[in-house]
Amino acid sequence: MITRRSILIRAVSRFQTEPPNLYARNHAQFYRNSSYLASLISGRTIRNCEDVLRTSAAYVQHGGFMRAHQPVRRQQTATASSSDANDIIQFKLSDIGEGIAEVVIKEWFVKTGTKVNQFDAICEVQSDKASVTITSRYDGVIHKIHYGVDDVAKVGSPLVDIKLKEGSMTNPMAKLHQEVIPDDMSSLQDARSIEKEHVKSLATPAVRRIASEHNVKLSDVKGTGRDGRILKEDIQRFVDSSQEAKKKITEKISAPSVESVSRKPDKEDKPIIPKASVFRPTESGKVPEDVVEPIKGIKKAMVKTMSAALQIPHFGYCDEVDLTQLVQLRSQLKELAKSRGINFSYMPLFIKAASLALTQYPVLNAHVDENCENLIYKGAHNIGVAIDTGNGLLVPNIKNVQTKSCLDIASDLTGLQERAAKNQLSPEDMKNVTFSLSNIGSIGGTYAKPVILPPTVAIGALGKIQVLPRYADKHSDVIKKCHIMQVSWSADHRVIDGASMARFSNLWKSYLENPSLMLLDMK
């Protein structure tokens, strides 16, 4: 994804190879991506590459505003007026995308009187679709907190009041940091060091504490969260990679369990123990009181989605798949993938086979508009995977499956499962799904009636793999042991006919029953 930050970094790299006047003439689009930078450059004479290099490298976009480092030669910029020191700013909840109008406050990382700097985590909020960490745009002290944990906050309403730090201005766009830039600063490495300093700060206090306990520098850790945010599991992976630190891993950074889509074949035939009830047993003869639970967060999203899905005329199609050859192939690939640090379940193979079949039947990878007047054939195969979490059912998706190997899909799937377990899925993980698979077999089901997720037009539910007797072929009386899985499809009968669904299912089935066919069609 191209961001303002990446555009500026690309601009800086070009400054070293092109004269500034040529760069300004031929590549002005870089300037337009940062209005503040453009206005600064247009109002002054570009004398040499170093001036522009210092200017653009010192601008780091984050949270919807530009942090300005004013380049000066051997002099300092004017400080803010003393009256600004007593300013109290209302920090409002910004739009986090996807048309979300309200969120639930899940956790506060600050309290009244806490000192905060720009990019410090303030709170974590849960929308209908994902969990997002809100970071500060100001330096100062928390003056007032407007919501408690589990309260519903609306977009545009104030989250906290921040008393600005002395020397800070009310408008962060106009903030000029007092900094002297030496004359001999001319390397891109120096510019990137400024960028790196700000990227390092994208971590919550809890993550910083864990990193400190393990003597890990955040600058050495690659963040996998939104906007490069460093997560707890990133610290864990970094520590795991060091032989000396392996024994120091503690339970506080290990991921909680989640009913995921990754089937574990060594546990297929073991009975599944139901989860314990959330209600404690009462004394004999006593009737427990009714409990009222507000429907919010993910459950509220399910209400909206299922209500919309109810308007779709579903039709179903079921079949069984002989996975005997696939089971053998997966057993060979599992250890190879494990040596690369990847958990390789059956699901990546199911997903890749679906993508190959969607290439032949693109109507099943389409969206239908709200009034069912247009069918939009989607170019990307963004395949959603249903994941059962403690907060409810989530369907994040793996992007551009048509361009990825089975190993890539397995890696992406593991990442989605880990983030879902920690309630850290981002809006990007949830949006733009084009087709979905639900693995009910990981819980123990055989057949299901999956519900289509609007605006998609098809979904599949995969049953558990069972060892069952089957005839060797239709002309033989010989019975053999086979690994059989049932599949249940649902499609939107307004735009999908039964024959198309059956042909798609047959092609998908052929890839799984004869895995070598997948090699022929993979690009």
Residues labelled catalytic:
493, 497
Measured distance CA(471)–CA(481) in Å, rounded: 9
Q: Is 511 helix (H, G, I), strand (E, B) or coil?
A: helix
* Contacts (Cβ under 8 Å, ≥6 apart) of 166: 85
Cβ contact 381:401 at 8 Å: yes
Torsion angle of C-alpha atoms 348, 127, 376, 523, degrees rounded to 10: -20
49-57 and 188-200 helices, crossing angle to 10°: 10
* Contacts (Cβ under 8 Å, ≥6 apart) of 418: 233, 255
Cβ contact 110:123 at 8 Å: yes
**Which among 72, 312, 102 has a CA at the least distance from the CA of 180?**
72
Q: Is 92 helix (H, G, I), strand (E, B) or coil?
A: strand
Q: Over the Cα atoms of the chain, what is R_g?
A: 27
Measured distance CA(457)–CA(490) in Å, rounded: 8
Measured distance CA(506)–CA(321) in Å, rounded: 9
Inter-CA distances, 179 with 70, 133, 164, 193, 401, Å: 7, 30, 20, 15, 47
Cβ contact 416:383 at 8 Å: no
Residue 455 preceded by cis peptide, ω within 30: yes
Listed in sequence order, the DSSP H helices in 363-431 are 406-421, 427-430
Residue 318 burial class via C-beta count within 10 angstroms: exposed 0-12, middle 13-18, buried 19 and up: middle
Measured distance CA(396)–CA(157) in Å, rounded: 28
Measured distance CA(4)–CA(11) in Å, rounded: 10
435-439 and 383-385: which strand pairing?
Answer: parallel
Measured distance CA(78)–CA(409) in Å, rounded: 53
Residue with structure tokens 């609306």? 154
